[in-house]
Structure 1
Amino acid sequence: MKRRACFALLLSAALAPAAWADGAAGFTTLDLDWHDGARQRPVPVRLYLPVQADAARPVPLVVFSHGIGGSRMGYRYLGEHWAAQGYASLHLQHVGSDRSLWGGNPFSLVDRLQGAAQDGEAIARVLDLRFALDTLLAGPLAPRIDATRIVAAGHSYGANTTLLAAGARLERQGLTVDFRDPRIKAAIVLSAPPFYGESDPAGILAHVTVPTLHVTATEDVIRIPGYYSDAQDRVSVFEATGSRAKALAVFEGGSHSIFTDRRGTGGATLNPQVKEATRALSVAFLKRVFEGDEAAIRQWPAQFAGIVARFTRSGL
């Protein structure tokens, strides 16, 4: 028993340079610094793992991709909630489009942002997701994860990454770029912009056939140096997605960054309400997809009627 306990401690140390447990909330948080040797690219991740997850009771997994300029530490309000509700949540950090973009010479910020939006980084991001899944499901934590119930999720640029992993296809130089990961059984899409430089969303998104949840707001406008996207673009992405089972929630007011961890954006009163509603809707969606339980998603519009401008669902 002593040797076994010692091995467990060593394994824990090797897995998580930073790890802590929130026993009251019912989850453990692990920061893991992975490296994809084939691409010579670091893939840092943060894993929120429900404490009840074990080989006898493996839990579903959400793989989350941040927006441009984000990190694995972002969207904590979602990761912690999902883990507390019994869903593991693996938050990626994409080193070519992460928070490092905001550092350096401010006069070259536009160039850095535009460079991060190009094909090379968009492809690298979806490969980060694939590598992170490969690594987690081949490692010592794999028995705690139900590999048949995996969801991709993301905000903004991360929503594009999510859609690529869920089946979106691009045409480049006469060739089809297809990074669909068959392990992805559903997708949660927060504030998805059109794919950079593309004008035919249906041609790209018709191939996404897994169940999808789309969340946005009437003031979900993207304004960053060198790029603009109005709120209708988020609805157009929903409409173009080929999923037979899909839902769209549009909050009244808000902002594009209201779905990040920032507390004031979109209004000091509305911000926490939108976060609460987004948490509730995402879990209702997961319950409908994985358990066939539609009670929560059916009740959700009435529960948050005061802040919802539109709610549409089909097949869910």
Structure 2
Amino acid sequence: MTEVLTGPQMSLVEMFLVAATVALVLARWLPAAARRPAGLGAATGAVVSGAVLVATGPRWHLAPVALVAVLGLVRELVAELRRRGERHGVRHGAPRDRGHGEPPAHRHDAPPARRHHAPPDRRAPRWLALPATAACLALVATGPAAAWALPVPQFPAPTGRHPVGTAVVQWTDPERAEGATADPADRRTVVAQLWCPARGGSERGERARYLGRTRAEARTVARALADYAGVPAFALDGLPDARTHAAPDAPVADGGRFPLVLFSPGLGGVRGQNTAWAEELASHGYVVAALDHPHDSAAVVLADGRTVRTRVAATGDPEVDERRAAGWTAVRAADLGFALTRLTGPGEGAGPLAGRLDADRVAVAGHSLGGAAALQAARQDHRFAAVVNLDGSPHGPGARPYPQPVLALTQEIGPATDPDYLPRLTRALDLGTATGYRLTVPGAAHLTFTDAPLYLPPLPSLTGSRARAEGPRLTAAATLAFLGPALRGDAADAADALSAHGELTVHRPTAR
């Protein structure tokens, strides 16, 4: 996977506006001869670039830049009006010849000749101008800084040989009631996004939008994610403008049957939260199906247009929260099993993938609470042949062996890590009757294993200390290194490949 841009994440027009605004601020410090042309040139540049941005849709990041630009334009306008007024006053206040052709200087009653001085300097005193200039420059700098800290995500290009296609499907389970509503007639519904190897040429067409089929859906989901995280909605307003590398509804690549990976997002997460990871897997010949869990995911837009918001929340009481987490995990595990039935069973549930999936080569994966759901789904449904747990702590019933190999990726363990996390995860891995792997990734935080580093501020406590695209890149590389032997029977040693990415612990099967 290629690295994303790490620059200011701004368009040429936005950078031109910033440059013109800086020139406006600094023009008052130029020599008198250069002050006016420089100020007028910078003002013209600011007006033109600002008009283009207004027409194409400005971003909130540039609000402080626009404020300083307006102040600079007002200053230049006042200065220009003053200059013109002074020239007008000098011209109309000059002595006129009231004699009979004799210059006023030669008449006895002529007033003394006026001396024409340069217009007085009306600039603010230096002691006031210096702090004002510094404050304006600092305010302008917040624009590029905000655009860099909260950019429109740029997704790493998949490295596999296949172009990637994507589609969204919705299924209702007639056998399960929706436990989150009061109406017993409500049936459990899930929404899945599919990423699959696509036919050649698909990469040259339209690219799918991030977080939604339409901009309206993506905006709804982005605002719900911001609300769930407790941050202002404008902080994530760049997400609806992001484009991925997958082609919407592209035809599936020719060939045989593809291995399948089902994915469950984190608590409050959404189906698209690991898009970079899913696209990379699909480019290497896997089909990925990521689920939205209604009433759990931050927002799920259903086919009939209804939006289902999350109802999950922590209470702060460890025992109560653990019981709730176990209940949410059980629902998600059932969702994963139901999705597998729809994708690999008879009928039209797989849509364009009908007959193209290998039901004997299926992995279940998840992040955070989704990782716990993946472990539980594998324990109760042996149709899953492998498990990938991205920094998820197990919940629900324990002490039950399961036969699938497991890969568990964990964040860097520190003083702030839940002290029960590793012991609980270790006990789960020790229950496996196949080899399991726990890979602790240096510099990783909980969100490192998602798309979040591509669009959130690079704070170590939030997204880890690795480069922006490094988290998705490493997560996909480790997953491929594990799934090759687990699903495809590759001869390569997974342990050798995994150990290159962090501290690896191998859990050998226990005799039972």
Q: What TM-score do you get using the length of structure 1 for normalisation?
A: 0.72
Deviates more, 1:289-298 or 1:133-142: 289-298
Q: Is the 8 A contact 1:126 1:162 kept in 2?
A: yes
Structure 1 residue 74, shift from structure 2 partner: 1.4
Residue 247 of structure 1 is matched in structure 2 by 437
Contact 2:372 2:392 in 1 (8 A): yes
**2 CA distance for matches of 1:95 and 1:116?**
19
Q: Tell me the distance in 2 between the aligned counterparts of 1:82 and 1:301.
A: 16
State the distance in 2 between where 1:33 and 1:222 align: 39
Q: Distance in 1 between matches of 2:480 and 2:330?
A: 28
Out of 300, 309, 312, which is 2:503 matched to?
Answer: 309
Query: Counterpart of 1:177?
Result: none
Per-residue displacement from partner, 1:172-199 (whole Å, max 9, x unpaired)? xxxxxxxx11211111111121316x7x
Q: 2:286 aligns with which of 70, 87, 107?
A: 87
Determine if contact 1:62/1:89 at 8 Å carries over to the other structure: yes
Write the mapping of 1:150-165 to structure 2, written as runs, cut at 5 A: 150-165=362-377
1:70–1:98: 8 Å Cα contact kept in structure 2?
A: yes
Return the match for 2:197 from 35, 50, 67: 50
The answer to which structure has the higher helix fraction is: 2
1:74 partner amino acid: Q
Q: What's 1:300 paired with?
A: 497
Written as runs of structure 1 = structure 2, the 5 A alignment for 1:30-179 is 30-39=167-176, 40-51=187-198, 53=252, 56-100=255-299, 109-111=313-315, 114=321, 117-137=324-344, 138=346, 139=348, 140=351, 141-167=353-379
CA contact 1:55–1:143 (8 Å) conserved in 2: no
Any conservation in 2 of the 1:284–1:294 contact (CA below 8 Å)?
no
Aligned to 2:483: 286
**Gap regions ≥5 residues in structure 1:** 1-21, 168-179
Match of 1:186 in 2: 386
Q: Distance in 1 between matches of 2:389 and 2:412?
A: 16
Larger radius of gyration: 2
Distance 2:480 2:170 in 1: 28
Instruction: Please say if residues 295 and 310 of structure 2, whose CA atoms lie closer than 8 Å, have aligned partners that are also in contact.
Output: no
Aligned positions, number: 267
Hey, what's the Cα distance between the residues in 2 that align with 1:149 and 1:47? 16
Matches within 5 A, 1:228-247: 232-233=422-423, 235-237=425-427, 239-247=429-437
Q: 1 CA distance for matches of 2:337 and 2:391?
A: 22
Alpha-carbon distance, 1:300 to partner: 2.0
1:18 alignment partner in structure 2: none
* Change in CA separation of 1:74 and 1:185 when aligned onto 2, cut-off 3 Å: same
- Normalising by structure 2, we get a TM-score of 0.46
Amino acid at match of 1:41: R
Q: Contact 1:193 / 1:237 at 8 angstroms: preserved in 2?
A: no
**Residues 28 and 104 (structure 1), Cα distance of their counterparts in 2 relative to 1, 3 Å cut:** closer
The question of whether the paired residues in 1 share the 8 Å contact of 2:366 and 2:390 is answered with: yes
1:120 is displaced (CA, Å) by: 3.7
Identity of aligned residues (%): 27
